[in-house]
Amino acid sequence: MNKNLSFSVHPLTSCPLKSFPYTSDISSLPGVKLSYGTAGFRADASILSSTVYRVGILAALRSLKTQSVIGLMITASHNKVSDNGVKIADPSGGMLSQNWEPFADTLANAPTPQDLIQLIEEFVKKEDISFNGVRPAEVLLGRDTRPSGDALLKAAKEGITSIVGAVATDMGILTTPQLHWMVRARNKGMKASEQDYFEQLSSSFRCLMDLIPSEKSKFNGTNDRLVVDGANGVGGIKLEALQKLLSGLIIEVRNDGENGGVLNEGVGADFVQKEKVVPYGFGSKDVGIRCASLDGDADRLVYFSVLPEGSSRIALVDGDKILSLFALFIREQLSILNEQDLKNSHQAHLGIVQTAYANGASTNYLKQLGLEVNFTPTGVKYLHEKAAEFDIGIYFEANGHGTILFSESLVGWLEARTKELSSKSKGSEVEKAALRLLAVSKLINQAVGDALSGLLLVEVILQHMGWSIHRWNELYHDLPSRQLKVKVADRTAVITANAETVVVSPPGLQEVVNAEIVKYPQGRCFVRPSGTEDVVRVYAEASTQEAADSLANSVAKLVDQFLGSKTS
């Protein structure tokens, strides 16, 4: 598979590229084409070496273009252990700019070394990437616990260092959010080691714990402990290290990968959220105990409690309810500032961001609280971009991926206001509210969804409220829902608008979908093309599970009639 081929010096940029040790694993597989999306590139690990090498080149070029530190993470998150993947963290710690995704696609799918060289040279010229900038390319590397990670890390390093002067820094085995946090911190001029990450989370958690009102009831009995399913991945390992710095919280980690468990097999947030059953290692002994589940690379988090009437059944507390808990807490602190702080010159704008997949009951609940709810197309990149428009933007998907974003101007105002208040009215409710918001901005990972930081924030808010997981889960009751896939020859035939809730093409499809929806109490349904495969996805809600199933099946048949497809 390997073939050495020296790059020539680019005539315009004088960019000396060293060698090309990987021929394309993908081009030899008929019908296989990689597409860069929210997850980056993912596939069976055995065919990813050339792709990871090429993404290493992309990361180095991105670093040169932005004159910033870039991240490269090797992970396949909640996929099976034989898979792996690779994705880029941009200077903000967020995902790769959407403008570079087409280049990533063509780079990964270039069939020959000559095609690859030509593609890179044309892109360097188009983007006006200079190799004589102030700083050379620098890329931070991370990987999860998959056995294929070491070999792919080597390929990534070779891709990065094929750009002369580029530096590849191996940060070790990490959660995906840790790497994103490190990139963001480095580009802000902050310390960015794993220990720095742990210390920032633990110190801000401690600050919030110290600010819990004394009159609020504390947990006792079984409620003083949390049992966490680590998905046999990297998250459980890191949580065990982090909890050594914590006080006021008892955490037991199961499925930490140390006792022969298989990554994501019958465990993890994706399994728990989709199947709504206990992960491996949980059962009747855990009835009444607060439980949480991470996914394989610890960027998703869901909570659950084991139901007494059957040791395999659970009451799921998903990302929608995590969002609702965070929104309640943030709203409470902002209300104190807005109503009691006479010198509040910064009336913070709080915005909630969801996709159409959010359960309708959660959206109704948030709106009843008087909160502004915005919708975006499916995909973290859209949610994150919209949340960044607010002073405080909260987004979460039902699958447990989400975070809270704070504007730089609000954080600056909070820092100044807390200093002023501490010298004049130390211990006032206004000062406490400002300190809480400031601590949340440091505890939550603003680069990307982070199961570890999210878990700590959930725990401190529950203690602040004096709530059990059962009280939290009673905020609202989800409407029954059903998701289906309809196989199609060409998913691009379906075009949507209004955050993917309305079909504009093919003509007439939305009208017949609307006619079906009105037949069902509390009915809601939308169809959208998949971003990764030739299927159209159908989502339906209604007042009963039978009605939701019926609505989904009826709409799937309509999609089949319009597109000549087959339901699966």
Is 60 marked within a binding site?
no
| Alpha-carbon distances of 366 from 258, 374, 514, rounded to whole Å | 41, 11, 25
Q: For 406-522, where are the alpha helices, taking DSSP H only? A: 408-424, 429-443, 451-465, 469-473, 509-517
The angle subtended at Cα 234 by Cα 318 and Cα 189, nearest 5°, is 95
> Hey, what are 449's tokens?
């969804």
Secondary structure letter of residue 490 according to DSSP: -
Is 297 marked within a binding site?
yes
Contact between 404 and 436 (Cβ < 8 Å): no
Contact between 400 and 273 (Cβ < 8 Å): yes
What CA–CA distance (Å, rounded) separates 276 from 443?
A: 29
Q: For the chain, how many residues are written? A: 568
Is 102 marked within a binding site?
no
Is 530 marked within a binding site?
yes
What are residue 567's phi and psi, to 5 degrees?
Answer: -75, 140
Q: Look up residue 323 and give its amino acid.
A: L
The angle subtended at Cα 541 by Cα 539 and Cα 542, nearest 5°, is 155
What CA–CA distance (Å, rounded) separates 331 from 560?
A: 44
Contact between 327 and 365 (Cβ < 8 Å): no
Is 150 marked within a binding site?
no
500: alpha, beta or left? (left if phi > 0; alpha if psi -120 to 50): left
Helix (H) or strand (E) holding 55: helix 49-66
Is 295 marked within a binding site?
yes
What CA–CA distance (Å, rounded) separates 153 from 156?
A: 5
Place of tokens 């702080």: 341
Is 2 marked within a binding site?
no
| Alpha-carbon distances of 264 from 176, 257, 297, 452, 519, rounded to whole Å | 15, 10, 10, 17, 39
Secondary structure letter of residue 234 according to DSSP: H
77 is catalytic: yes
> Hey, what are 129's tokens?
């990437």
**Cα distance between the two ends of the chain:** 37
**Could you tell me which of 204, 401, 197 has the C-alpha nearest to residue 294?**
401
> Hey, what are 506's tokens?
């093919």
Query: Which segments within 209-368 are labelled E, that is strand?
Result: 225-229, 250-254, 290-294, 301-306, 314-317, 350-354
The verdict on whether omega for the bond into residue 506 sits within 30 degrees of 0, i.e. cis, is yes
Is 397 marked within a binding site?
yes
HSE toward the beta carbon, residue 558, CA cutoff 13 A: 25
Is 531 marked within a binding site?
yes
3-state SS, residue 43: strand
HSE toward the beta carbon, residue 208, CA cutoff 13 A: 31
Order of all β-strands in the sheet with 481-487: 524-529, 535-541, 481-487, 566-567
Is 143 marked within a binding site?
no
Question: What Rg, from alpha-carbon coordinates, does the chain have?
Answer: 24
List the catalytic residue out of 50, 77, 481, 554.
Answer: 77
544: alpha, beta or left? (left if phi > 0; alpha if psi -120 to 50): beta
What CA–CA distance (Å, rounded) separates 455 from 239?
A: 10
Is 299 marked within a binding site?
yes
Enumerate the known binding-site residues for substrate. 397-399, 528-532, 537
Enumerate the known binding-site residues for Mg(2+). 77, 295, 297, 299
Enumerate the known binding-site residues. 77, 295, 297, 299, 397-399, 528-532, 537
Which residues are part of the catalytic machinery?
77
